[in-house]
Structure 1
């Protein structure tokens, strides 16, 4: 596999059932980045396994990350927020910055809102966003984090099949917007929103306008990490 001719952001991509040796298609959110991007498939990394946190995938994450570095990646991210479970292993295996999940932004966001304010984490599947996936520096801040998911919606349903099925942007926006509305009704103190899912940046701009709240996602993290080394 050829290496990149210029510094690139490397993306660890979920399995799509492409033939062995095929380069991974760049995930949809990378179209928003305006950055040079290369990607590698996490072998066997189907959505259902990554979302539920199957530890057997860790060697595949590491192997794909090393391939990305060999191809010219100067920083590494992923296209699934649940990859947070493999953050430490990948960071220890390569000598470039690693930021696999937007969940890494949670401590920063908690510091940006008032102490009586809350941060909402909107995820593709709240049943699998367990305590071990939350990056919270101060345990006392856990009560300031609320979680909502779009499980049962079209995006998660489409991503869980093999191979995954394309989901239109309007469907993603409808499900995410409904989730945010439910969360805000239950928690009026929400002051900012964190999107876990790498499918959500496709609707971030529109929902920032609609909610009038700060919304952070994996695209924001990718831009920041890439800018730190270029």
Structure 2
């Protein structure tokens, strides 16, 4: 596993409406990783979907920069009576261009329930406008509470997709509270890495 810092890319840029100015910097970081031997590229923040196509065009390895790429697949496997809940850091920052870049067509979007954590006080104070020390227990409770309220509003939810790269530590708590399948960017990475590191088949048991 190799990491590359994208200098200058902060929350203001990621959640801003005009983030094209950082595309070249993100592409440069991606190409450096490939030169260093990376066999695939990913990112933690779901809003890196902004750069999916630009990076994919610049390198010759698989690119999956956002957990939002899982949305079309998850929608396809859900019973038609159920909806896919997508939990994002900031709903106001999720543009139509980003939705389209993730391959979310209108028919898929119709079956998605998008809930932003903009109004979750603890989460917003640590991820949207970072301030002070992080309290993991308070943050977990804040995230779980927001999702439980969504589930109460939408009892048709069949699965949950967590967009934000800061949410995987709370996926277990969310699943225990909702009893729903929960996916995030670590699910996406594990799926792809599984294809790169197949083990010899020894039977079903």
For normalisation by structure 2, the TM-score amounts to 0.86
Give 1:149 deviation, angstroms.
Answer: 1.6
CA RMSD of aligned residues (A): 1.9
Distance in 2 of aligned mates of 1:190 and 1:157: 27
The answer to whether the Cα contact below 8 Å between 1:122 and 1:176 also exists between their aligned partners in 2 is: no
**Residues 1:154 and 2:119 aligned together:** no
Instruction: Name the structure 2 match of 1:74.
Output: 39
Give 1:56 deviation, angstroms.
Answer: 0.6
The answer to whether the Cα contact below 8 Å between 1:159 and 1:165 also exists between their aligned partners in 2 is: no
The answer to whether the Cα contact below 8 Å between 1:120 and 1:145 also exists between their aligned partners in 2 is: yes
Describe how 1:17-166 pairs up with structure 2 within 5 A.
37-53=1-17, 54-134=19-99, 135-152=102-119, 153-160=121-128
Secondary structure of 1:74's counterpart equals: coil
Secondary structure of 1:228's counterpart equals: helix
| Structure 1 gap ranges (5+) | 1-36
| Structure 2 gap ranges (5+) | 198-205
Distance in 2 of aligned mates of 1:175 and 1:150: 9
Flag the structure with higher strand content. 1
Deviations 1:86-123 (A, max 9, x none): 10001111111110000000011101111121001101
For normalisation by structure 1, the TM-score amounts to 0.77
Aligned residues, how many?
193
The answer to whether the Cα contact below 8 Å between 1:194 and 1:216 also exists between their aligned partners in 2 is: yes
Deviations 1:167-220 (A, max 9, x none): 232233122212211211221111100000011000112221221101100001
